[in-house]
Amino acid sequence: MMSDKPTLPKATRRTFLKGAAATGTGVALAGAAKAEGDPLITEVQSWAQGLGDGVDATPYGLPIQFEGDVVRRNVEWLTADTISSINFTPIHALDGTITPQGCAFERHHSGAIELRKEDYRLMINGMVDTPLVFSYEDIERFPRENHVYFCECAANTGMEWAGAQLNGAQFTHGMIHNMEYTGVPLRTLLEEAGLGAAGDLSDKWVYIEGADASSNGRSLPMEKALDDVLVAFKANGEALRMEHGYPVRLVVPGWEGNMWVKWLRRIEVMDGPVESREETSKYTDTLEDGTSRKWTWEMDAKSVVTSPSPQSPITHGPGPMVISGLAWSGRGRITRVDVSKDGGKTWETARLAKPGEKMALTRFYLDTEWDGGEMLLQSRAMDETGYVQPTKEALREVRGENSIYHNNCIQTWWVKPNGEAENVEVS
Ligand SMILES: Nc1nc2c(c(=O)[nH]1)N[C@H]1C(S)=C(S)[C@@H](COP(=O)(O)O)O[C@H]1N2
Ligand SMILES: [Mo]
């Protein structure tokens, strides 16, 4: 991140200017502070006059104290207590795409449980040739895979249906995280138990339960179970955190977070869905006419500008600036993201930091100039199926305002001349 304080060393500065000319953003104005009269340049600082911490000061490191406000946060009035509740990833302060586990949102129905690997058991039963029980160690002996996927709670952005409500990308869009999972394909374990007894697999289901009191039971069509679902035990290289399902959770790429059963305990092969609480009274969408949609598993393409945003105002004045955000789709790759500064009247195509990956977060940037005026900032994602993220108005026309889940509308931030931003609705 460019600060407006230090003067860049000559060589760096020249390369930098060349780069700036190439992208045509005229970044030459940024970083124009003077060395003269700046004690941070002219005087030897305290940190250069003594020794720093030894290597074992923090055997498992935490972020430096100055980043101490980049934490998960909950919204107290949303739920009666913190046991059956949710908190939000500080997406306004992160960059790149990988969410560190320590600040990845949590959603529990009966609290996060402490389950030792030694006490861990996974049962596969029902219409299988041989019902099996795996220990943690057993699972680690099957061939494993690594994949990066986003997990989005279906309730993400759910508070915004009726109007702009929560003031910050963390709260409007922070029920999402994106990690690199290590795990065994669910297919492998089902095949180990043998699916001959299930006969024709095209109309079969699996019912998935967690070991916590809520169990969070969900039915999953066999087709998905045999496709890309993972029985995961590592995230971002290390063991799952307790709050994310240690020691083993289900990873259901592109599908609503509720199906990502944590503390995975039992998988039953069945000839139909269970229609449990979590897939009937919850995680269904009531439409205008009072009927409800069910089995809305896939997360539609969505995006949000993470900076600037209400918790991440512009602090540097007019001139070069980076607008940044995240885009994702439960149906595959993000192919393009457009950014509007005028509430959707005109659009510019953003730069994707990397080509979109299937069912994973994609980082976008718009390297641009700020004239110091107001902006109505929006982003609009497109995925490989040709789907375009809808406006709030368009979504309401189809879905009405009774919904909680699956709100993937275009978000607007009103950026003011003083650099502050506010959650507003323009369509
Ligand atoms: N066993 C169990 N699994 C669960 C839940 C739960 O309460 N218990 N919550 C679900 C919901 S609603 C979501 S959105 C995701 C959240 O995963 P996270 O807490 O790792 O962010 O886990 C799902 N899996
Ligand atoms: Mo959820």
- Tens of pLDDT, residue by residue over 15-64, are 333 444 444 444 445 676 788 899 999 999 999 999 999 999 999 999 99
Which of 248, 262, 264, 265 to mutate for ligand 1's pocket (most ligand atoms within 8 Å of CB)?
262
Query: 3-class SS at 159?
Result: helix
Q: Name the residue at shortest CA distance from atom 19 of ligand 1.
A: 106
Query: 3-class SS at 365?
Result: strand
Those residues whose C-beta lies under 8 Å from the C-beta of residue 422, and which sit 6 or more positions away, are 167, 310, 413, 414, 416
Please report, in tens digits, the pLDDT of each residue of the chain (427 residues total). Answer: 333 333 333 333 333 334 444 444 444 456 767 888 999 999 999 999 999 999 999 999 999 999 999 999 999 999 989 999 999 999 999 999 999 999 999 999 999 999 999 999 999 999 999 999 999 999 999 999 999 999 999 999 999 998 999 999 999 999 999 999 999 999 999 999 999 999 999 999 999 999 999 999 999 999 999 999 999 999 999 999 999 999 999 999 999 999 999 999 999 999 999 988 888 888 888 888 888 888 999 999 999 999 999 999 999 999 999 999 999 999 999 999 999 999 999 999 999 999 999 999 999 999 999 999 999 999 999 999 999 999 999 999 999 888 889 999 999 999 999 999 999 999 7
CA of 370 to the centre of ligand 2 (A): 37
**Measured from the CB, is residue 106 less than 6 Å from ligand 1?**
yes
- Residues 302, 70, 115, 182, CA torsion sign: positive
CA of 370 to the centre of ligand 1 (A): 40
Give the chain's end-to-end CA distance (angstroms, integer): 33
Other Cβ atoms closer than 10 A to 421: 26
Say which amino acid occupies 76.
E
Residues listed for the chain:
427
Report whether 353 contacts 364 (CB < 8 A).
yes
**Measured from the CB, is residue 218 less than 6 Å from ligand 1?**
no
How far is 208 from 55, CA to CA, in rounded Å?
A: 44
**Measured from the CB, is residue 72 less than 6 Å from ligand 1?**
no
Query: For the whole prediction, is pTM greater than 0.75?
Result: yes
Domains and CATH numbers, the chain: 87-293 (3.90.420.10), 302-424 (2.60.40.650)
**Which ligand is nearest the CA of 87, by number?**
1
Q: What residues pack around ion ligand 2 (CB closer than 5 A)?
A: 107, 153, 257-258
At which residue do the structure tokens 């065994």 appear?
184
Report the DSSP pairing between strands 362-370 and 412-415.
unpaired
Q: Give the pLDDT of residue 284.
A: 87
Going from the C-alpha of 282 to that of each of 141, 217, 295, the distances in angstroms are 36, 12, 11
How far is 260 from 262, CA to CA, in rounded Å?
A: 6
Report the DSSP pairing between strands 132-135 and 121-126.
antiparallel
Phi, psi of 32 (to 5 degrees): -95, 25
**Measured from the CB, is residue 257 less than 6 Å from ligand 1?**
yes
Condensed to tens digits (0 to 9), the pLDDT of residues 140-178 reads 999 999 999 999 999 999 999 989 999 999 999 999 999
Q: Give the pLDDT of residue 30.
A: 65
CA of 309 to the centre of ligand 2 (A): 24
Going from the C-alpha of 72 to that of each of 83, 177, 244, the distances in angstroms are 15, 11, 13
Query: 3-class SS at 206?
Result: strand
Tokens of 394: 């368009």
Q: Which atom of ligand 1 is nearest to the CA of 104?
A: 21
How far is 358 from 228, CA to CA, in rounded Å?
A: 11
